[in-house]
Amino acid sequence: MNFSDFYQQSIDDPQAFWDQEAKRIDWNEPYTQVLDHSKPPFAKWFVGGKTNLCHNAVDRWVASQGDKPALIAISTETDTEKVYSFKELQAEVMRAAAMMQSLGVSKGDRVLIYMPMVAEAAFAMLACARIGAVHSVVFGGFAANSLATRIDDAKPVLIVSADAGSRAGKAVAYKPLLDEAIKLAQHKPAHVLLVDRELVPMSIVEGRDVAYAALREQHMHAEVPVTWLESNESSYILYTSGTTGKPKGVQRDVGGYAVALAASMKHIFCGNPGETYFSTSDIGWVVGHSYIVYGPLIAGMATVMYEGLPIRPDAGIWWSIVEKYKVTRMFSAPTAVRVLKKQPPEFMKKYDLSSLKALYLAGEPLDETTSQWIASELGVPIVDNYWQTETGWPILSIARGIEDKATRLGSPGVPMYGYKVKLLNESTGAECGPNEKGVVVIEGPLPPGCMQTVYGDDERFVKTYWSNFKEQVYSTFDWGIRDADGYYFILGRTDDVINVAGHRLGTREIEESISSHPNVSEVAVVGVEDKLKGQVAVAFAIPKNGDAVATAEGRKALEAEVMAVVDKQLGAVARPARVHFVSLLPKTRSGKLLRRSIQAICEGRDPGDLTTIEDPASLQQIRSVLTE
């Protein structure tokens, strides 16, 4: 079948289409209705059906390939490598599930996971799925303030964490950040389960903190049955940056997500049981949920979980993994490829990469130079794909499992089955023609696997995503154009979320953090194009005391202080590349900050129509500080 017919089926008759795709997973009880869209924009998929993510990822493969690799945990930070077969993974997940139950976790309870890229993090996620608890993974580099907001929103019964992560051989202590976050949070979890990697000393809170290793010993022979869940019950919450300081908890279901991942592993990622999948992401992000932990395992593949950098111990580390474990499908981000491009070419030449069938890239726009370089080096298809935390799997790509359509440089591809993608004019809401710039939107219902709602806030879900145009459509908040053949090109955000090396950051969050410095009266943060990271955050701050920035030394000192504040409150991932000091910021007469004009000046572009600007001298200030 060609892809266009396959796609059209999914749009014309979604019930029949997804009924067919639902056969890719195991159901304990059949569903009575494929789709309930009676209360748009909310969609319920596979209503009444009972299934379980852990069963589909682990248990169902034990009989046919129990001794084959399931989880390959590699850390170049601690020089450890361990392969867990499906049988061994099942045993570890049952132990973790029994440990959680012994600490009072039951179906529907939230468990927050604040972990480095270690096998126990995957065990914890799968254990939650097994017993019907709702996990919320928070990226292991997040600072105490950010972590506290997530603890207060999710209200976890249990937090699973570790003494430390490690980056470039340096331990990053997690426990002090976690203790501080719990102190700041209104909600206090009953227990904290701690993996001790012996990287840094840990202080233990009596009665609350529990050692993972000791509790595991007590549950070595645990057999914890799967808790079958109705398809629309929650599987997890994953927080994503919003345009306000309060993070949005993307809430995912069970059945729709399992079906969407199973279908994507077949049609988009072309994975087969017994093969090996290597995604270089982190479990703190959606790619880690969908394509490190759940997707590959649901497809019966071994999945590589990697802690470390792409160039340590040397720039050949990823390729040595590809050779050793016969990786067939690899998923990474353009930033990582740009880092590798700067390394000596012999690192790619010294390994046998013949097992590799394709490299998938996502997280930020893929530029032509990077794409052409990696394609020529690897000699395999480079498949771009575009999606969001909210959708859980690709919106735009090339479904090579259906038809090997040509890729187009600079384009992630065409809409995937189930997604009714359109481009709308931001002002009029009219549909855009070929090569006309518009906002990328999706007509409801969203396909299976997409977010159900914002956790605990249905109103925010509707207001944020579905109320931007006269007709009720889901807004991606991304600009795009579509060529005459239907290929889409993503042009950047319409809101104040920026993309730094595949990490989504809300500029408002960074602004709030910088504003808390006692010598900052006002600040604007914009995302500026960067050849390596895609985008970086750049801040322009007005100091309360101008004398402090009268000298180059003073400016340098204040910049360092401001960065330290962001580090402490949001973590190093949110630190701006530069903090510039000005005496006024460009605004309209009504007081609206002209962030897009600031961004344009930073990128050497025309700042656009400035007839509404209050003080043109403010733009000159921006220009002059950039040349300092």
CATH code for the domain defined by 497-626:
3.30.300.30
Per-residue model confidence (pLDDT) at position 21: 98
Asked if the peptide bond before residue 394 counts as cis, ω within 30 degrees of 0, the response is no
Q: Which helix (H) or strand (E) holds 416?
A: none
> Mean pLDDT score of the chain, rounded to an integer?
93
- Tell which residue, 433, 440, 400, 395, has the closest CA to residue 414: 395
Task: Decide if 343 contacts 319 (C-beta within 8 A).
Answer: no
Distance of CA 585 to CAs 58, 269, 449, 509, Å?
55, 46, 42, 18
Question: What percent of the chain has pLDDT above 90?
Answer: 74
Q: Which residue has the higher pLDDT, 32 or 362?
A: 32
Which comes out higher in pLDDT, residue 139 or 60? 60
pLDDT higher than threshold 70 for residue 302: yes
Domain ranges of the chain: 3-308+385-438, 439-493, 497-626
Bridge pairing between strands 534-543 and 520-530: antiparallel
Tokens of 373: 């370089």
Tell me the C-alpha distance between 518 and 237, whole Å: 34
- Does the structure show a pLDDT above 80 at 495? no
% the chain with pLDDT above 70: 97
Question: What is the pLDDT at residue 27?
Answer: 98
Provide the pLDDT confidence category of residue 334 given band limits of 50, 70 and 90. Answer: confident
For residue 40, the tally of other CB atoms under 10 A from its CB is 11
Whether the per-residue pLDDT at 365 is higher than 80: the answer is no
Is residue 286 within 8 Å of 450, Cβ to Cβ? no
Mean pLDDT in residue range 274-283: 96
Question: Which residues make Cβ contacts (< 8 Å) with residue 556, sequence separation at least 6?
Answer: none
**pLDDT digits over 557-613, tens only?**
999 999 999 998 888 888 999 999 998 888 765 556 778 789 889 988 877 656 556
Q: In this predicted structure, which of 194-208, 350-364, 383-397, 498-512 has the lowest mean pLDDT?
A: 498-512
Q: Which two tokens stand for residue 234?
A: 């929650």
Contact 392, 268 (CB under 8 A): no
Give residues with Cβ within 8 angstroms of 564, minimum separation 6.
none
| Range with top average pLDDT, 359-368, 463-472, 538-547 | 463-472
Smallest Cα–Cα separation from 396: which of 422, 424, 373?
422
39 CB burial (10 A radius; 0-12, 13-18, 19+): exposed
Helix (H, G, I), strand (E, B) or coil at 7: helix
Reported as half-sphere exposure (CB side, CA atoms, 13 A), residue 274 has a value of 2
d(CA 488, CA 475) in angstroms, rounded, equals: 15
What CATH superfamily is the domain 3-308+385-438? ANL, N-terminal domain (3.40.50.12780)
pLDDT the model gives residue 562 = 94
Residue 548 confidence (pLDDT): 87
pLDDT band of residue 244 (cuts 50, 70, 90) is low
CA triple 564-565-566, angle to 5 deg: 90
Please give the Cα distance from 195 to 180 (Å, whole number): 18
Q: Does 64 have pLDDT greater than 80?
A: yes
Tokens at residue 145, please?
Answer: 């303030």
- The neighbouring-strand residues paired with 529 are 535
Q: Among all chains, which residue has been given the structure tokens 């799997």?
A: 393
pLDDT at 243 exceeding the cut of 70? no
Instruction: Give the residue with greater pLDDT, 609 vs 125.
Output: 125
Residue 535 pLDDT > 60, yes or no?
A: yes
For residue 45, the cross-strand partners are: 35
Whole-prediction pTM: 0.85
With a cut of 60, say whether residue 485 has pLDDT above it: yes
Q: How many CA atoms lie within 13 A of 490 on its CB side?
A: 29
423: pLDDT confidence band, cut at 50, 70 and 90?
very high
What whole-number distance in Å separates Cα of residue 322 and Cα of residue 513?
A: 41
CA atoms of 329 and 321, how far apart (whole Å): 12
Task: Determine what percent of the chain falls in helix, strand and coil, rounding each to the nearest 5.
Answer: 35, 25, 40
Distances (CA, A) of 1 to 261, 399, 406: 21, 12, 16
265 has a pLDDT exceeding 80: yes
| Burial of 427 from C-beta contacts in 10 A (0-12 / 13-18 / 19+) | exposed
pLDDT at 2: 94
Q: At what angle do helices 334-341 and 368-378 cross, to 10 degrees?
A: 70
Domain pair 3-308+385-438 / 497-626, same fold: no
Give the integer Cα–Cα distance in Å for 369 and 377.
Answer: 12
How far apart, in whole angstroms, are the C-alpha atoms of residue 434 and residue 202? Answer: 59
* Lookup: tokens for 281: 């992401």
CA-derived radius of gyration, the chain? 24
Which pLDDT does position 609 carry in this prediction?
57
Contact call for residues 490 and 496 (beta carbons, < 8 A): no
The residue among 54, 119, 114, 47 whose CA lies nearest residue 83 is: 119
Of the given ranges (104-113, 191-200, 439-448, 616-625), which has the lowest mean pLDDT? 616-625
* Residue, of 116 and 437, whose pLDDT is higher: 116
∠ CA 180-183-185, rounded to 5°: 110
Task: Give the whole-angstrom CA distance, residue 99 versus residue 118.
Answer: 18
- pLDDT at position 242 is 59
Provide the pLDDT for residue 614: 67
pLDDT at 522: 83
**Strands 158-162 and 110-114, bridge-based pairing:** parallel
Q: Which residue has the higher pLDDT, 508 or 16?
A: 16
